[in-house]
Amino acid sequence: MADILQLYPVTQQQRALKGLYLELNLCEQAADGDVLIYSNYIASVDGRISLRDDDSAEFVVPESIANKRDWRLYQELAAQSDVMLTSARYFRQLAHGKAQDLLPVGGGPEYMDLTQWRQQHGLKDQPDVVVISNSLDIPETALEEVQDRRVISCTSERAGNAQRERMESMGLTVLVAGRERVEGKQLRQLLIDQGFRSAYMIAGPEVHRTLIADGVLDYLFLTTQLSLLGHDAFHTILSGQLDQPVDLHLQRLYLDQLVSSQQLFAQFALHPV
């Protein structure tokens, strides 16, 4: 069903949701010896990507903006990745049953076309996982959920030998990408050294800031749900300080015309294209 209106580039063309992002072929965009890194968020018009839950004190995506149509595009972005970049916080949430999802591609019959798409493009059934963590506080029970793929822990020199040895004893590859913290440029080089061509960042705003501040994020995909949430305890797509503003270059903009979930789908480049 053609229920997506393309606003930019200006064509007024009607599009179908299914396949909207798959046509980008992100897994084939990186030049030889390079990697494409992209991120994705859903936010309200007032910028909330998560609100603090009073019971658990965890920050979670509000139910009022989470929706299956945005999740379809999340899955399409995941389907194009060699590796998904996440955080130790995600695995701690996973261990307590609080994680949004299990980093799948093609989970359920409605997403089986994505598994087929990966096979057609020479990708493994599931992307590998890089866990970005300075502390290496990663529960072993959560790692048991992703035994079907390679898991790499990327940390800084600040992590002690005991923590590194513990991770390695659990079957993880531990790589160091920075002194006091994981640094974006070193992380990017490690991804290249491991042979990855497309990396999908699904971590929180702190990791997002690192990638942006260090100039290694290529694309930002942002779904804006047309609502206002308010709330004083919230996260936005970025935390911390930037030395200077970072310009975004609009690549694509779509309007989801379903009355039940009006939202905008946007792709931004962080470097001139």
> How high is the pLDDT of residue 101?
64
For 23-75, what is each residue's pLDDT tens digit? 999 999 999 999 999 999 999 999 999 998 877 777 888 889 999 999 999 99
Instruction: Over range 91-103, report the average pLDDT.
Output: 62
What is the rounded CA–CA span in Å between residue 191 and residue 211? 13
Which one-letter amino acid corresponds to residue 102?
Answer: L
Contacts of 147 (CB under 8 A, 6+ apart): none
pLDDT at 4 over 90: yes
Q: What is the pLDDT of residue 56?
A: 72
What is the spatial distance between Cα 246 and Cα 242, in angstroms, rounded to a whole number? 8
The pLDDT, as a whole number, for residue 136 is 77
pLDDT digit string, tens, across residues 172-217: 888 988 888 899 999 999 999 999 999 999 998 999 999 999 999 9
Residue 167's pLDDT is 78
Name the nearest CA neighbour of 186 among 154, 160, 159, 209.
154
| pLDDT 10s digits, 102-160 | 567 777 788 899 999 999 999 999 999 998 888 777 776 666 667 778 888 888 887 77
* Pair 77, 26: CB distance under 8 Å: yes
Q: What is the pLDDT of residues 240-258, one digit of tens each?
A: 889 999 999 999 999 999 8
Q: Tell me how far apart the alpha carbons of residues 230 and 46 are, in angstroms, rounded to a whole number.
A: 7
Question: In angstroms, what CA-CA distances link 87 with 120, 197, 202?
Answer: 29, 20, 8
Residue 173 buriedness (CB in 10 A; 0-12 / 13-18 / 19+) = middle
- As to burial, measured by CB atoms within 10 angstroms (0-12 exposed, 13-18 middle, 19+ buried), residue 2 is exposed
The strand pair at 36-44 and 219-225 is best described as parallel
The secondary structure of residue 110, as a DSSP letter, is G
Q: What is the pLDDT of residue 157?
A: 85
Nearest to 61 by CA among 256, 235, 257: 235
Task: Give the start-to-end residue ranges of the domains of the chain.
Answer: 4-263
CATH, domain range 4-263: 3.40.430.10
pLDDT reported for residue 99:
58
Rounded Cα distance between 53 and 261, Å, is 23
